[in-house]
Structure 1
Amino acid sequence: MKQERKAPVLTQSQFKQVIAAARANDQAERNVALLYFSVALGLRAKEMSQLQIGDVLSPDGAMKDEVLLTRATTKGGKQRLVYLSNRDVRKALGAYLDHRRKSEPTSLHPKAPLFRSRKGGGFTPNTMQMLFKRMYRAAGLDGASSHSGRRTFATSLIERGVDIKAVSTLMGHSTVAMTARYVEDNPIRLRRVCEEVSVGV
């Protein structure tokens, strides 16, 4: 049976490339925020499509520090927390919410979809996946998808020395073996690992 092709892991320069392309196109604030939610938080297309304003904003309008993804919104019914502690994520989300607030103040109702389509409604998981493919294609990254964000998230954490159990928890995986399949082995990292081996001689 033919093995399914994995979504590519993005390099830092490729991520900057797709961010630049998103900023130059329509719905810039929304799309930049989506890219950060995918690559810096590791969210699935389904999870992003079902987020509501109340998930990220408290009743007083302040941005929350964490988002609870319920069993109904995740794959495999595994509830998990997503932490809005990354400075770039907060900046991108804040810019998008400010844009929404200025253009249509009533759009920030707690039950309103966080990420709205051009028509003003929410996304389905499928239309969210299609949007990511269009964004990557516009940046010249054919073959990249919403899944590239999750793979990039997992790989970058492992490369920074984060233990795989913590990465597995952040990804919402039931086993570390599943997380391991997401991580792309980087020859530079493997070389560095070998350099640091101590044999006690």
Structure 2
Amino acid sequence: MTVEKKAPVLSEQEFRQVVAVARTHEQGNRNVALLYFSAALGLRAKEMSLLKVQDVVAPNGTIKDEVLLSRSTTKGRKQRLVYLTNKELRKALTSYLRERTGNGMAALHPEAPLFKSRKGGPFTPNTMQMLFKRMYISAGLDQASSHSGRRTFATSLIEHGADIKAVSTLMGHASVAMTARYVEDNPVRLRRLCENIQLGT
């Protein structure tokens, strides 16, 4: 029987490593923002490629606190909210958007793609996946993929005490069973669970 190969979950050190390398790229601010959208929001490559400026920037030029992903952009056509409340994510997004315009974020065209490719247009889901693969390879994480951020997001939530129903909602899964597959076989998490067993002496 062939075991399905899953994208590896990133450790905190590995995430910082890929962010540090991404900053050195000519599109460094964009790439760092993408890494945070992947690992701090759990977004899929397709979802990131379809985001528009108006999804995250309010008419007055401020970054929204939450984003509604429409059914047309998500897998399984399941509408969900994602929350732009992580401080590091907001910092990365602000740096990227300010780089796009010298006139403040309100000057950005609402319908423009949030993440622009080198050619100036939107990414396709495939080219977004390829970009993530290049970023991870550049950081020496050859096995990681665009889905690693999503798995890291789910695992981190569970490790920090989030209940699996809440994680399922944030991931946009149709069932809790699907969410459980993201975390139940993570060797890092299983090792930590064993380390923290309290036994009487």
TM-score of the superposition, structure 2-length normalised? 0.93
Aligned-pair CA distance for 1:25: 1.3
- 1:49 and 1:115 in contact (8 A); partners too: yes
- AA of the residue aligned to 1:51: L
Aligned-pair CA distance for 1:189: 2.7
Matches within 5 A, 1:36-47: 36-47=36-47
Aligned-pair CA distance for 1:143: 1.1
- 2:98 and 2:105 in contact (8 A); partners too: no
Matches within 5 A, 1:162-201: 162-183=162-183, 184-185=186-187, 186-192=189-195, 194-195=197-198
2:113 is matched with 113
- AA of the residue aligned to 2:75: K
Distance 2:113 2:123 in 1: 8
- AA of the residue aligned to 1:27: Q
Distance 1:56 1:123 in 2: 17
Aligned-pair CA distance for 1:191: 1.6
1:56 is matched with 56
Matches within 5 A, 1:3-152: 3-102=3-102, 108-152=108-152
Distance 1:63 1:161 in 2: 27
Specify every segment of 5 or more residues in structure 2 that has no aligned partner in the other structure, as ranges: none
Say if 1:103 and 1:148 are closer, same or farther in 2 by CA, change over 3 A.
farther
Distance 1:63 1:153 in 2: 21
Aligned-pair CA distance for 1:2: 1.6
Identity %: 67
TM-score of the superposition, structure 1-length normalised? 0.93
Distance 1:103 1:23 in 2: 23
Specify every segment of 5 or more residues in structure 1 that has no aligned partner in the other structure, as ranges: none
Distance 2:135 2:115 in 1: 15
Distance 1:93 1:101 in 2: 13
Aligned-pair CA distance for 1:188: 3.5
- 1:45 and 1:146 in contact (8 A); partners too: yes
- 1:100 and 1:107 in contact (8 A); partners too: no
Q: Give the SS at the match of 1:169.
A: helix
Distance 2:27 2:104 in 1: 14
Distance 2:104 2:28 in 1: 16
- How many aligned positions are there? 197
